[in-house]
Amino acid sequence: MKNEQGNARAEVPGLGRRGLLRSGAAGGAATLLAAVGPTPATAAAPVEIDTDFADFVMPKFSCDDSLAKIQKKGVLVAGTSNDWPYSFLDPKNNNVWSGLDADIINYVAKMLKIPRVSVQTATFDGLIPGTLDGRFDLVADSIHYTKVRAKAVAFCFPTYYYAETMVVKKGNPLNLHSLQDLKGHTCGTLLGTNYAEWLQTVPGVIFKPYKDWQLLLPDLSAGRLDAIIYDQPVMAALLKQHPGWQGEIVSDYQPRTFKNPNGYSRYAFRQGDMQLITGFSAAIEWMEYNMVMAKILSKWGLTGYNN
């Protein structure tokens, strides 16, 4: 399956991977909804699936023909923020599209008999607007349901779960184990996430926002941060790659993100593209049932708990 690289472009500010900036939630919904009007439904055209996947079926119902059009065109346009380890263009491998979500979506495309995936990059906050205005067929990054996003896009079946984690200096010299322990300490996270919202409500925490998550661990190592709250898969992979940064995950930290459907990563689509959404959901469910998803998660350092 061939992949193509696109160019990044900035769009609507204020969207994070899991949540919206608190001050912009209402405005964010209006901005997203204004990006494109409702998509009218059309008569459904028949679609194909790869019969090599035993017992994989598509639900039959009347809807639009969004998946059939993509199959006819022969290419699925995936929008990504180029965010390791979820969905990124690998500079060490000729910018081949790689990552946890890349592996899942490439597998889904094969199941749905879509010959090629074309990858276009944008800032994370530009992915939903880019999907709404037709530049992408889907948000092909890890993205989570929020009430604001649900007014603008539709989500497919959940893929995998992960929560936030707390990272501290090796040995945890400050004895930090919970958000409440952060009182009087400096804690960093990515601006625009719900982690940032949480930290700003913890009494006494010295909150330090970052526009680039790649600066978090180096700043912890240099003593500019006492703790980090961020995505568990990212932190685990970074600590494994950079043992010299002398950080560790707090093993008894209790995530605030509960393991329920809202805590699961998904992909986002235009609300009118129900045939495409249904195809993705059917393929993902098949992958879950047949342990394909578990194998992909294991490849990227996740476990059965994330499934």
What does the pLDDT look like over 21-40, one tens digit per residue?
333 344 454 555 555 444 45
**For residue 201, what are the contacts with CB-CB under 8 A and spacing of at least 6?**
none
Domain locations along the chain: 3-161+260-306, 164-249
Q: Name the class of domain 164-249.
A: alpha beta
Residue 137 CA to residue 71 CA, distance in Å, equals: 12
CATH of 3-161+260-306, one of 3.30.565.10, 2.40.128.50, 3.40.50.920, 3.40.190.10: 3.40.190.10
Residue 222 CA to residue 247 CA, distance in Å, equals: 11
What does the pLDDT look like over 69-111, one tens digit per residue?
999 999 999 999 898 888 999 999 999 999 999 999 999 999 9
**For residue 198, what are the contacts with CB-CB under 8 A and spacing of at least 6?**
179, 229, 256
Name the residue among 190, 192, 149 with its Cα closest to residue 22: 192
For the full predicted model, state whether its pTM sits above 0.85: no
Residue 171 CA to residue 168 CA, distance in Å, equals: 8
Equal fold, 3-161+260-306 vs 164-249: yes
Name the residue among 147, 85, 140 with its Cα closest to residue 269: 140
